[in-house]
């Protein structure tokens, strides 16, 4: 038990170090973008004095290390600063930037919407992909396996926006089962939110399901030639039971890893899908913030994406260790 705890603590320490390095990269990259918020608001005809006054009001004229330290210490307690697009002219007119809407208040509901979209997608994609992967391994080289391979290759090769528009055409325009635009509101019931979210969720399902299906199939087929699988077959155990009871538990580590990677993608890679369906999530706000040079929001979105990706990978790593005795007791 002590060795497992030490391994978990080591993984957590590496995750914290990775997140710190990523935060530094995010800050340097975002602040290296051409242009500034002051120029975007005041326009090309703004005088240098006006730009300097706005940057001073918003704190953009501070040294980079001081701004990074203020941002990092604030982010540790959930304070990502104030959205510059919300403070805009009120702050420039003479009040402080604190009078604007905070980044946490603005991104909170949107992040909840993104998590809802990711949850709906995961609830559909994970059981379907694992089940289809098991069946593809069980009926290897059959018509079902070939059709599944063609489907996964087509899905992987298709861009997100292409799949989104195809589904929008088939399921919202020609056959109006769902809404083409995800007009999600806070006062909606769960059923209404589910109906509005279903079309982008199906798009993401087609994208992530292919990877999980192929990994499940490959992991199980790789174990079917093992001696203990041959012994189980010689005992007369049914092929389905051999796969589910003997092969699947030993193939959990790679399956868990690919599921975690795809769940991380559901949070970090939803930008294109949210933009296509005008879904009010964090990805949509991220694109708008880049266009308006809203630095605090851009930095917060990037840090949230990085934290979600790192945490899910840490969870996959820990679950892989717990599910595999050889990793729990390394020699």
pLDDT digits (tens, 9 = 90+) for 142-166: 898 889 888 888 888 888 888 888 9
Residue bearing the bigger pLDDT, 265 or 329: 265
Q: Over pLDDT 90: what percentage of the chain? A: 2
CA distance 157 to 192: 32
Domain with CATH 1.10.3720.10 in the chain: 106-283
- Name every residue whose Cβ is closer than 8 Å to that of residue 42 and which is 6 or more positions away in sequence: 50, 51, 54
Whether the per-residue pLDDT at 31 is higher than 60: the answer is yes
Write down the pLDDT at residue 98: 46
Q: How confident is the model at residue 44 (pLDDT cuts 50, 70, 90)?
A: low
Phi-psi region at 238: left, alpha or beta (left = phi > 0; alpha = psi -120 to 50): beta
* Cβ contact 175:187 at 8 Å: no
Whether the per-residue pLDDT at 327 is higher than 50: the answer is yes
Superfamily per CATH, domain 106-283: MetI-like (1.10.3720.10)
For residues 98-104, average pLDDT = 69
Q: How confident is the model at residue 2 (pLDDT cuts 50, 70, 90)?
A: low
Write down the pLDDT at residue 326: 62
Whether the per-residue pLDDT at 323 is higher than 60: the answer is yes
Write down the pLDDT at residue 21: 92
Write down the pLDDT at residue 85: 67
For residues 56-75, average pLDDT = 80
């Amino acid at each position: 038990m002590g060795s497992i705890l030490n391994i978990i603590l080591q993984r957590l320490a590496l995750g914290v170090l990775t997140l710190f390095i990523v935060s530094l990269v995010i800050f340097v990259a975002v602040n290296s973008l051409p242009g500034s918020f002051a120029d975007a608001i005041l326009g090309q005809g703004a005088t240098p004095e006006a730009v300097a006054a706005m940057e001073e009001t918003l704190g953009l004229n501070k040294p980079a290390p001081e701004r990074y330290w203020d941002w990092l210490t604030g982010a540790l307690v959930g304070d990502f600063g104030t959205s510059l697009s919300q403070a805009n002219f009120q702050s420039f007119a003479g009040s402080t930037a604190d009078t604007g809407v905070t980044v946490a208040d603005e991104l909170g509901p949107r992040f909840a919407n993104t998590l809802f979209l990711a949850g709906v997608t995961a609830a559909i994609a994970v059981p379907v992909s694992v089940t289809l992967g098991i069946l593809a391994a069980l009926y290897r080289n059959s018509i079902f396996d070939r059709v599944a391979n063609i489907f996964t290759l087509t899905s992987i090769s298709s861009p997100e926006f292409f799949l989104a528009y195809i589904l929008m055409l088939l399921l919202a325009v020609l056959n109006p089962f769902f809404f083409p635009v995800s007009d999600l509101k806070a006062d909606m019931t769960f059923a209404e939110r589910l109906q509005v979210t279903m079309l982008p969720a199906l798009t993401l399902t087609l994208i992530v399901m292919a990877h999980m299906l192929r990994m499940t199939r490959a992991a199980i087929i790789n174990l079917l030639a093992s001696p203990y699988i041959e012994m189980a077959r010689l005992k007369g155990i049914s092929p389905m039971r051999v796969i589910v009871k003997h092969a699947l538990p030993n193939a959990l580590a790679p399956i868990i890893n690919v599921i975690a990677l795809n769940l991380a993608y559901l949070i970090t890679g939803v930008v294109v899908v949210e933009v296509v369906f005008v879904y009010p999530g964090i990805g949509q706000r991220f694109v708008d913030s880049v266009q308006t040079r809203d630095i605090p929001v851009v930095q917060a979105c990037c840090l949230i994406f990085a934290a979600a990706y790192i945490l899910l990978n840490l969870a996959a790593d820990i679950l892989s260790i717990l599910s595999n005795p050889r990793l729990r007791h390394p020699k």
